[in-house]
Amino acid sequence: MAPMGIRLSPLGIGVFCLLAAGVIYHLYAGVLSSRFASFRQKSTVDLRDLLALSIEAAELGGQEVKRIREDDTLEEKTKGKTKEGASELLTKGDLNSHRKMFYLIKNTYPLIQVNSEEHDNAEGEATIWTRNIPKEILEKVLDGKEVSADRITVWIDPLDATQEYTENLRKYVTTMVCVAVDGDPVIGVIHKPFTGYTAWGFVGEGASVAPRASYNTNSPKVIVSRSHSGTVKKFAQTAFGNNTEIIPAGGAGYKVLALLDLNDEEQEKADIYIHVTFIKKWDICAGDAILKSVGGQMTTLKGEEINYTGPEGNTGGLLASIKTDHKDLVFKCICWISNIS
């Protein structure tokens, strides 16, 4: 045997091999365990993080909406017809905002369901969340809340009020993100691209907005869609009296903000928001969550809660209010529910 050499018997070699195999097994098992733990972690989502991400997504999409409108490069076209026969418009602003918003959320949380008003075949954006949580959120939402990713549905509207966008009626335009858990609206974000204002609400946790001091339901101001304000006027005056004032407006996000206490001269103020025809869930989910976060309600005209899973459409009309007897408003609407298309 060489002076510095080590000579092992066949039994020794066997023991050495077993020991080496054990070490390798434990190292490999540790790697696998780490990877599985990482996978388990990604299968849940912290809702406070998702709120911050939703705000960033809405604002990122809003930057595209604003830039394209100011550059006058809308590339407007018709993508179809509404159930009422009106043209549904599509612009470059819609599509660019969709890409920014959709891929920012999907790249961050690949396991959650994200539903967007727009779809395109372009290559995905390599956008990544900054993981920045605004100070206001940290102050109002003190703790995170983990939820399984398969319970979450995100609804995004990359450009609400496209018709008004093409008409350069900028005050009506918003971008919106909503997070529903088990079908219930929990987080809502409405962003105004041309002023930079963002409203958010997290049900049971806090909000960046508040209700006004009082609301008038005896001679209310009712905000409705510009496209069928004449029809709704007849219904609303039947329900609430001839002194009811109708405010025609564009964009579901803008109409919800009209019910809140905002320091915005361009933002009209209303007591009730009514919609009597078919409407998509990405139009209303964010507003529903924000209203609920400050004690308001959004239901169908029959007073039913809206479920934000399944099909994209809501066929039961819409009634939104805050700091009022919502059941009484529903009762007053019963006389014209049969007119909902």
Mean pLDDT calculated for residue range 256-283: 94
- 125 confidence band (pLDDT: 50, 70, 90): confident
Q: What is the pLDDT of residues 200-232, one digit of tens each?
A: 999 999 999 999 999 999 999 999 999 877 778
Q: What is the pLDDT of residue 10?
A: 59
Domain 211-338 has CATH 3.40.190.80: yes
Does residue 2 have a pLDDT over 60? no
pLDDT of residue 123: 65
Q: Where does the pLDDT of residue 126 fall: very low under 50, low under 70, confident under 90, or very high at 90 and above?
A: confident
Structure tokens that stand for 296 in this block: 């308001």
Task: Give pLDDT, residue 29.
Answer: 45
pLDDT at 131 over 50: yes
Residue 71's pLDDT band (cuts 50, 70, 90):
very high
Q: Quote the pLDDT of residue 23.
A: 44
**pLDDT of 227:** 82
pLDDT-derived band of residue 25, with 50, 70 and 90 as boundaries?
very low
- Average pLDDT in the chain: 87
Tell me what pLDDT residue 7 has: 59
Structure-block tokens of residue 318: 């819409």
Residue 28's pLDDT is what? 42
Least confident of 41-45, 265-269, 306-310, 334-338: 334-338
As beta bridge partners, residue 320 has: 273, 298
Position 244 scores a pLDDT of: 94
Binding residues: 117, 157, 159-160, 283
Side-chain half-sphere CA neighbours of 11 within 13 A: 0
Amino acid at 38: S
The share of the chain scoring above pLDDT 90, in percent, equals 71
For 241, the token pair is 């009296």
Does residue 265 carry a pLDDT above 90?
A: no
User: Taking residues 2-26, what's their average pLDDT?
Assistant: 52
DSSP code at position 267: S
Q: Can you say which residues are annotated as belonging to the binding site for Mg(2+)?
A: 117, 157, 159-160, 283
Q: Where are the beta strands (DSSP E) in 97-183?
A: 113-116, 146-148, 152-160, 174-181
Which tokens sit at 84?
Answer: 């009422």
338/118: higher pLDDT: 118
pLDDT > 60? residue 320 = yes
The structure tokens listed for 5 are 């050499």
User: How high is the pLDDT of residue 146?
Assistant: 96
What is the CA 22 to chain-centroid distance, rounded? 51
Q: If 0-12 CB within 10 Å is exposed, 13-18 middle and 19+ buried, where does residue 34 land? A: exposed
Per residue, the 3-state secondary structure of 197-244, as one string, reads: EEEEEECCCEECCCECCCCCCCCCEEEEEHHHHHHHHHHHHHHHCCCC
Structure tokens at 231: 């029809």
For the chain, domain boundaries:
44-208, 211-338
- Band the pLDDT of 118: cuts 50, 70, 90: confident
Largest distance between two CA atoms of the chain: 112
Do domains 44-208 and 211-338 share one topology? The answer is: no
Tell which CATH classification among 3.40.50.970, 3.30.540.10, 1.10.730.10, 3.40.50.2300 matches the domain 44-208: 3.30.540.10
Helix, strand or coil, per DSSP, at residue 282: helix
pLDDT at 37 over 50: no
251 φ/ψ sector (left φ>0, alpha ψ -120 to 50, else beta): left
CA atoms of 233 and 237, how far apart (whole Å): 6
pLDDT digits (tens, 9 = 90+) for 168-200: 999 999 999 999 999 999 999 999 999 999 999
To the question of pTM greater than 0.75 for the whole model, the response is yes
